[in-house]
């Protein structure tokens, strides 16, 4: 079976988009329970100023806690070189920096245009290299922007190459606004891989704004993508892209991949139990996705064998 890494981004991308601050102990319980269900990588938070995102103020404590969980790859988002310094000090296993290919979104999100952001990527890459930390670049708004509209594919490719030259070790294509469709995903994955190398574009970060998240994930897998970001219950969105909502639902993604015979290493029944931690800590936040009320859980291996 083909092994696919599902990277849980809910503790960062999910929680940054809601007003309520999830208690630290609830976050720890969430991370521990997902790891116990078989999730191998979790983006536990972001190193941004607490005054801007108080939801992320406890990220250093979460990194310290998560590093104590055997077999878990602990990653965090950094918006700039200062964030990279803080992440390195905390001892993350990996860090990623968002590079919005819509310049308007970049300015609104991190207050930097493209040249300034490329300079930050170069500084952050050097910090990560010195610390022996894996450094990834998230190509945000790659499929379109709620502010600027369509982002030309040639622009995506050109800026991906520039980010690679600045020190990016690995890339993800991010559908920040949920605009992507499967044909566009296939086309853009091929173009970016051709420009930066097959082994450097590994990941898709998808939102489910228009209900195409799973279809887009499958399109990416057919083009050799091996990592998919998702959020438990579809929690989250982007606070700096008006109208963007809903991450790809982790439970739905696991259900689909397990049913198709992909190796995720995740036990869906245990994963569904994790939802109770969120509903208790965040009672006003709706959770989406698969529910066992539809019938008994499937024996995937038996079903595929038939």
Q: Which of 238, 241, 249, 253 is catalytic?
A: 238
Q: Which whole number is the average pLDDT over 119-140? A: 98
Cα–Cα dist 281/158, whole Å:
43
Please tell me the predicted confidence (pLDDT) of residue 68.
98
Answer for the pair 174, 248: CB distance below 8 angstroms, yes or no: no
pLDDT in tens, 229-282: 999 999 975 544 444 457 899 999 999 999 999 999 999 999 999 999 999 999
Residue 241, pLDDT score:
46
Beta carbons of 15 and 55 less than 8 angstroms apart? yes
- The pLDDT tens digits of the residues spanning 277-286 come to 999 999 988 8
Q: Is the pLDDT of residue 41 over 70?
A: yes
Task: Identify the pLDDT of residue 295.
Answer: 57
CB proximity list for 111: less than 8 A, separation 6 or greater: none
- pLDDT reading at 212 higher than 70: yes
Sorted by sequence, the CB contacts under 8 Å of residue 139 that are 6+ apart come out as 99, 101, 156, 159, 160, 163, 171, 172, 173, 174, 192
Q: What is the mean pLDDT of residues 18-40?
A: 96
Determine whether 238 is an active site residue: yes
Residue with tokens 């500084």: 123
Distance, in Å, from the CA atom of 47 to the CA atom of 84, rounded to the nearest integer, reads 8
At 243 the pLDDT is 45
What's residue 129's pLDDT?
A: 98
Contact 263, 3 (CB under 8 A): yes
144-178 residue pLDDT tens:
998 999 999 999 999 999 999 999 999 999 998 88
Confidence of residue 291 (pLDDT cuts 50, 70, 90): low
Task: Say if residue 7's pLDDT is above 90.
Answer: yes
With CA atoms as reference, report the closest residue to 205 among 238, 248, 236: 248
Please state the pTM of the whole predicted model.
Answer: 0.93
Question: What local confidence, expressed as pLDDT, does residue 141 receive?
Answer: 96
Mean pLDDT of the chain: 92
Amino acid 293: pLDDT: 62
Q: What percent of the chain has pLDDT over 70?
A: 91
The residues, any chain, with a CB within 8 Å of residue 132's CB and separated by 6 or more, are none
* pLDDT band, very low/low/confident/very high, at 297 (cuts 50, 70, 90): low
Question: Does residue 99 have a pLDDT over 60?
Answer: yes
User: So what's the pLDDT on residue 236?
Assistant: 79
């Amino acid at each position: 079976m083909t092994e696919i890494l599902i990277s849980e981004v809910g503790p960062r991308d999910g929680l940054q988009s809601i007003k309520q601050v999830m208690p630290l102990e609830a976050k720890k319980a969430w991370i521990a329970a997902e790891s116990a269900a078989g999730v191998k990588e979790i983006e536990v938070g972001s190193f941004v100023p607490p005054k801007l995102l108080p939801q992320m103020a406890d990220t250093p404590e979460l990194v310290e806690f998560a590093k104590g969980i055997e077999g878990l790859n602990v990653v965090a988002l950094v918006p700039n070189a200062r964030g990279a310094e803080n992440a390195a000090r905390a001892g993350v296993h990996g860090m990623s920096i968002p590079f919005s290919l819509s310049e308007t979104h970049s300015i609104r999100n991190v207050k930097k245009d493209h040249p300034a952001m490329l300079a930050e990527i170069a500084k952050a890459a050097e910090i990560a290299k010195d610390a022996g930390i894996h450094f990834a670049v998230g190509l945000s708004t790659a499929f379109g922007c709620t502010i600027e509209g369509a982002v030309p594919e040639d622009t995506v490719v050109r800026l991906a190459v520039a980010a690679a030259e600045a020190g990016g070790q690995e890339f993800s294509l991010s559908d920040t606004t949920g605009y992507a469709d499967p044909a566009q995903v296939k086309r853009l994955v091929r173009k970016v891989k051709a420009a930066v190398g097959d082994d450097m574009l590994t990941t898709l970060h998808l939102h489910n704004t228009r209900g195409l998240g799973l279809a887009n994930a499958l399109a990416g897998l057919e083009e050799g993508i091996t990592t998919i970001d998702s959020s438990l219950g579809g929690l989250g969105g982007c606070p700096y892209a008006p109208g963007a909502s809903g991450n790809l639902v982790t439970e739905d993604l696991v259900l689909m991949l397990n049913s198709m015979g992909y190796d995720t290493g995740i036990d869906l029944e245990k994963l569904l139990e994790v939802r109770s931690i969120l509903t208790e800590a965040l009672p006003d936040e709706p959770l989406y996705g698969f529910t066992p009320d539809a019938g008994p859980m499937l024996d995937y291996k038996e079903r595929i064998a038939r």
